[in-house]
Chain A
Amino acid sequence: MQTVKIVVTGPFNAGKTEFIRSVSEIDVVSTERKISSEPEKVKETTTVAMDFGRITVDHDLVLYLFGTPGQKRFDFMWEILSEGMLGFVVMVDSTRPETFREARSILETFRAYAPTPYVVAANKQDHKDAWDIDDMRLALRLDPKVKLLTCVATSKEKVKSVLLELLYGILAEMEEGRS
């Protein structure tokens, strides 16, 4: 059995666990803990080690999706999880501009780990407070060549299109002979 992996990263509460849950064929194996710190109590639990989802491609190939912990104090896990990844998705909460700076920092950190293709997913685009995608590109200082995609992590179709864009990017880099 052959296995490959894609990493889903991003700041705390960006929607990484939901993203994986939407497409994983197994219940996401999650290492969640109750949140103890008051400022971070925008949700009840958070990922402390990783999330783990699976998509069986055929009898011979499995795609694993790894979600990184969002809180900075667990960032020692990031490098371990990035080892051997095909590419990565950076999730950003479109309604919380205060997390854009951290998203940018996480993006730079993962770029330094491995020169693999990546896409940025602007999550929660169905919320009324969501930032416009063009404004987000400017705020996140993304190069025009970087794919910034609208996303709703609870929507399977939206998650599929983000993963497909990443895979198209991987294929394009292979065609160019960079991978």
Chain B
Amino acid sequence: MALKGNLRDFTITQLLNLINLARKTGTLVVEGPGEVAKVFFREGKLSYAAIEQEDNSLAAVLQRTNRITTSQYKLIKEKASRMSDKELGLVLINAGYVSQDDILLSLQQYFLAVVRRLFTWGEGFFRFDQGDLSVDGKITVRIDLENLIIEGSRQLRELEKLQEEIPTLDMALKFTDRPGTNLRNINLSVQEWRVVSFVNPKNSMRQIARATKMNDLEIRRVIYGLLQAGLVEIIRPVGVVAPAPGRMFPTQNKEEQKSLVNRLIERIRSL
């Protein structure tokens, strides 16, 4: 029977640990926020990984890691779109464009990036299909999982702490009204500047993350820094109707409500 569950209950590092210790062979499919990841393992080692919504071809991976140029990538896509990754790899090596090491290092880099992306998914359904290794024509590698597990545990701990600080991304940000604060005098990173440029009571943090292409961990990290520096504060987004607070008063009449609060005040004073 396939291992199934939700990352909310069984984290990705726990899964990797299980796969590593049991030296499992099979495919892990994770349905995350708008993306589906497929990760292949052979005898407890990472073998192949891909995000379904991305171009995972060897040409795309080589272009992303700057081993080939964008125009070379486009040319390959035009002329060799029917070639498998293994065939394309051989052609590129024989033509002297890249070495075998270039290919393996690029693929390792990409596969690790896919798994690291999973560390930032707080929830998502997963399924591990034992024995299934349908990676025909793809180039596979063998990467030990221990370092990834340690790195993932560290990231999860960080994400948990940041989730305590910023429990929801559905709230908005506004600049604090501290007199004398001048953003120009503050050294912000490129990522921080990108977020700052979207700070507006109309934008929720989730929308800012989407606009700046940051995942949950990255956006929380940046916002936490800005909050700590006292540059921004969290508010309810403008235009978003607050959840109805329920029936606070037994009466709808404003004057009666005020009278009720005054009666409460008098009573508490007299205790």
| Chain A residues with a Cβ under 8 A of chain B | 2-4, 23, 55-58, 61, 63, 83-86, 101-102, 104-105, 108-109, 111-116, 141, 143, 156, 160, 163-164, 167-168, 170-171, 174-175, 179
Closest to A57 in B: B267
The total of Cβ contacts below 8 Å across the A-B interface reads 101
Residues of B within 8 A of A101 (CB): 161, 164-165
With the chains together, A174 CA to B256 CA distance in Å? 11
Residues of B within 8 A of A164 (CB): 265, 268-269
8 Å CB interface, B172-221 against A:
176
B50 → chain A closest CB, angstroms: 36
With the chains together, A143 CA to B175 CA distance in Å? 12
Residues of A within 8 A of B250 (CB): 2-4
Contact with A179, one of B167, B248, B262 (Cβ below 8 angstroms): B248
Contact with A85, one of B233, B248, B260 (Cβ below 8 angstroms): B248
With the chains together, A82 CA to B249 CA distance in Å? 14
Interface residues on B, range: 35 or more
B164 touches A114 (CB 8 A): no
Known: A86-B248, A141-B233. 4 other contacts (CB 8 A): A61-B260, A86-B261, A116-B245, A171-B265
Closest to A1 in B: B250
Residues of A within 8 A of B268 (CB): 23, 55, 160, 163-164, 167
Tell me if B83 counts as interface (CB < 8 A to partner A).
no
Contact with A104, one of B165, B168, B247, B264 (Cβ below 8 angstroms): B165
